[in-house]
């Protein structure tokens, strides 16, 4: 993990790559990849098999999207090309990333962006399958906001407010990144305790997101409306809702996650309704990320 000035340099070089100016091209590839997946679903359903393991499917298409975003498209628009472009700006006076550092950043972008976004979508589909009222509400919002238009305007997706509430609630209940690690760079006093310099700290996000004292008696219920008028969902402490970390190291790709989440979910809800398969076994497990142990088989129905 990069620290100190090394981290500052890396963040300075990679930040321009996540500018909304580059999201237009990314949105198009997200749409194309997702439509390819959904077309295969249609063929499977028409062949008489309505059960689809969407966790597997979403993970594959998420990998395709992040691979194209990392190394595909045009040189000016993929992540590696943008890094090289920013890294070669004149006047840096030696403040550039080495080849190994560039490779490391691409690896972080691929593995960090691929799994967590796919899991956020997967858990959303599970909860929407269980809560048909919210599935219907999102579908109606899509009809009102997007209509029959193509997904080509990021501002249109930004207007999907209920979908934002659902995403925030999913990230609270099933945070794909279940813990955060930090190291004390100096002695830190916390109330009457001293955390010695060099102490490794493990912050359990899942526990905080399910703390009844912070969220109330309905902490374990799926209630997206808690985020309607509060970005922190009514949590008693704003630093206890941490889907993307906190501070200077907050996930730099969070806006890209929002974009992919809305694109994929909008396209799915526009073409299908779905319920949980009787073969689904609810068993979340932590393997670096929080994922369904036995996949997510859904019964898909064409609209």
Residue list, annotated binding site for heme: 251
* Calpha distance 54→75 (Å, rounded): 32
Closest CA to 22 of 59, 88, 57, 69: 69
Binding-site annotation, residues: 251
* Calpha distance 206→289 (Å, rounded): 11
């Amino acid at each position: 993990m990069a620290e100190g000035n090394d981290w500052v340099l890396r963040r300075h070089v990679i930040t321009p790559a996540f500018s909304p100016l580059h999201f237009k091209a990314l949105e198009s590839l997200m749409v194309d990849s997702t439509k390819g997946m959904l077309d295969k679903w249609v063929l499977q359903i028409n062949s008489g098999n309505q059960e689809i393991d969407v966790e597997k499917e979403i993970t594959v298409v998420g990998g395709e999207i992040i691979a194209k975003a990392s190394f595909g498209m045009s040189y000016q628009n993929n992540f590696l090309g943008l890094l090289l472009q920013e890294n070669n700006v004149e006047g840096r006076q030696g403040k550039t990333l080495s080849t190994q550092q560039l490779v490391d950043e691409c690896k972080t972008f691929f593995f960090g962006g691929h799994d967590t976004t796919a899991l956020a979508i997967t858990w959303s589909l599970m909860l929407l399958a269980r809560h048909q009222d919210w599935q219907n509400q999102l579908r109606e919002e899509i009809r009102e906001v997007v209509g029959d238009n193509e997904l080509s305007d990021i501002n249109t997706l930004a207007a999907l407010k209920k979908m934002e509430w659902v995403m925030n609630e999913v990230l609270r209940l099933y945070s794909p990144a279940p813990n955060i690690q930090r190291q004390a760079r100096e002695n830190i006093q916390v109330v009457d305790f001293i955390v010695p310099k060099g102490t490794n700290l493990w912050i359990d996000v899942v526990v905080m997101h399910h703390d009844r004292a912070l969220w109330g008696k309905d902490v374990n219920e799926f209630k997206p409306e808690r985020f309607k008028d509060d970005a922190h969902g009514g949590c008693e402490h704003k630093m206890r809702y941490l889907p993307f970390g906190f501070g200077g190291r907050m996930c730099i790709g969070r806006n890209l996650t929002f974009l992919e989440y809305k694109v994929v979910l909008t396209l799915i809800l526009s073409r299908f309704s779905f319920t949980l398969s009787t073969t689904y076994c609810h068993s979340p497990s932590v393997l670096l990320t929080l994922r369904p142990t036995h996949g997510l088989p859904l019964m898909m129905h064409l609209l």
